[in-house]
Chain A
């Protein structure tokens, strides 16, 4: 039984978009690469809880978030270092630093776990923000499914110019050949330490934004809003988030 539905949406939602969200939501409750289903749902729930955190609000308002100490308002299901990672990425992503990331690693979060946490957070943010845009309540989270995570780490992943290890565009192995198609893109590499997370998130990208080839095909329009309208809106969102990428 699917937990995500747009049957009650105030406007009709494209079928491909609904299908992409349903697939992402179903994955959310299943065991992942490093996290089991229960941990994944706990990360998703904490992502939703973070905007109400008083410590995050004070840090967001401060000249430097690193000047404000305190304890996060959390749901109490996850370790404090995981909560710190989730809350900071949700509440103040533009001011994250490599030193902060390294502190998260030193606190005991493995790089693969961190990438999976970021991916879960990103899936939930994309789908929840979409729902808010339409005037809908957030979708109920799926029930966690039993099973063990795959613990698959691609042999080709290595530390290059991002904080996290990634697979170079021309360095992938046969297991990831399906993913590395089209023009090289650093953002498509970002989650490749957990390739299934990268595949899933960029399926959502294709449905909510545009598939890769359509991004650069200005000879026709693929959505009800034009390329120019899409990029204007995308640029404004990124500016509010203080994101340079």
Chain B
């Protein structure tokens, strides 16, 4: 799961072809067209055309829905916030700029103060 926050180079994602998908996602959101062409070719070659379409769909959708969430100040559901607390802490998601909005300022700051086993 470290690949979610640390990206390419974080090591084994634990998901089949996860490294290709991470590289593809980063390239789609980046500005380096040559890097994107290489990442696209790798997904196409190793995973197939239908997988490339679905990966492009997911990357595009989340690039948009993130903006819907952030621009409307939509909070994370309480049950999701509770269930994901340890994972968010381990992956340092609570340090994201938008954490105060999604989690509520108190929830985000209290979680930030919690000692992180992943970082110790």
Q: Which residues of A are interface residues toward B (Cβ below 8 A)?
A: 11-14, 17, 89-90, 93-98, 101, 115, 118-119, 121-123, 125-135, 161-164, 166, 184-187, 189-191, 201, 204-205, 207-209, 223-226, 228-230, 232-245
Known: A208-B60, A224-B53. A229 touches B70 (CB 8 A): no
Roughly how many angstroms separate A201 CA and B67 CA in the complex, as a whole number? 12
Query: How many inter-chain residue pairs (CB < 8 Å) link A and B?
Result: 245
Interface of chain B: mostly helix, strand, loop or mixed? helix
Find out whether the CB atom of A89 lies under 8 angstroms from the CB atom of B97: no
Find out whether the CB atom of B21 lies under 8 angstroms from the CB atom of A229: yes
Find out whether the CB atom of A162 lies under 8 angstroms from the CB atom of B26: no
Q: List 12 A-B contacts (CB under 8 A).
A: A96-B101, A98-B101, A125-B67, A126-B63, A129-B28, A133-B28, A134-B53, A230-B54, A232-B21, A234-B62, A242-B96, A244-B103
Which of B26, B29, B48 has most A Cβ within 10 Å?
B29
Find out whether the CB atom of A162 lies under 8 angstroms from the CB atom of B75: yes
Known: A233-B21, A244-B99. A122 touches B68 (CB 8 A): yes
Known: A11-B52, A128-B60. A245 touches B67 (CB 8 A): no
Closest residue of chain B to A207, judged by CB?
Answer: B57
Roughly how many angstroms separate A223 CA and B29 CA in the complex, as a whole number? 22
Contact among A98, A130, A226 with B73 in the assembled complex (CB-CB below 8 Å): A98
A residues in contact with B40, CB < 8 Å? 133-135
Find out whether the CB atom of A245 lies under 8 angstroms from the CB atom of B69: yes
Find out whether the CB atom of A242 lies under 8 angstroms from the CB atom of B98: yes
Find out whether the CB atom of B59 lies under 8 angstroms from the CB atom of A14: no
Interface of chain A: mostly helix, strand, loop or mixed? helix
Find out whether the CB atom of B60 lies under 8 angstroms from the CB atom of A93: no
Q: Which residues of B are interface residues toward A (Cβ below 8 A)?
A: 1, 3-5, 7, 13, 15-18, 21-22, 24-26, 28-29, 36-37, 40, 44, 47-77, 88, 93-94, 96-99, 101-103, 108
A residues in contact with B74, CB < 8 Å? 162, 186-187, 189-190, 245
Roughly how many angstroms separate A51 CA and B30 CA in the complex, as a whole number? 11
Roughly how many angstroms separate A130 CA and B98 CA in the complex, as a whole number? 24
Find out whether the CB atom of B68 lies under 8 angstroms from the CB atom of A187: yes
Known: A162-B72, A236-B26, A238-B66. A225 touches B96 (CB 8 A): no
Closest residue of chain B to A227, judged by CB?
Answer: B15
Find out whether the CB atom of B63 lies under 8 angstroms from the CB atom of A225: no
Find out whether the CB atom of B61 lies under 8 angstroms from the CB atom of A11: no
| Cβ-closest 7 pairs across A and B | A133-B56, A163-B73, A129-B60, A130-B60, A224-B50, A126-B64, A243-B66
Closest residue of chain B to A241, judged by CB?
Answer: B66
Roughly how many angstroms separate A239 CA and B76 CA in the complex, as a whole number? 15
Find out whether the CB atom of A232 lies under 8 angstroms from the CB atom of B73: no
Contact among B51, B72, B102 with A225 in the assembled complex (CB-CB below 8 Å): B51
Find out whether the CB atom of B59 lies under 8 angstroms from the CB atom of A90: no
Q: Quote the shortest CB–CB distance from A216 to chain B (angstroms).
A: 13
A residues in contact with B75, CB < 8 Å? 161-162, 186, 245
Roughly how many angstroms separate A185 CA and B74 CA in the complex, as a whole number? 10
B residues in contact with A118, CB < 8 Å? 67-68, 71-72
Closest residue of chain A to B17, judged by CB?
Answer: A229
Known: A223-B54, A224-B51, A244-B96. A237 touches B36 (CB 8 A): no
Find out whether the CB atom of B61 lies under 8 angstroms from the CB atom of A205: yes
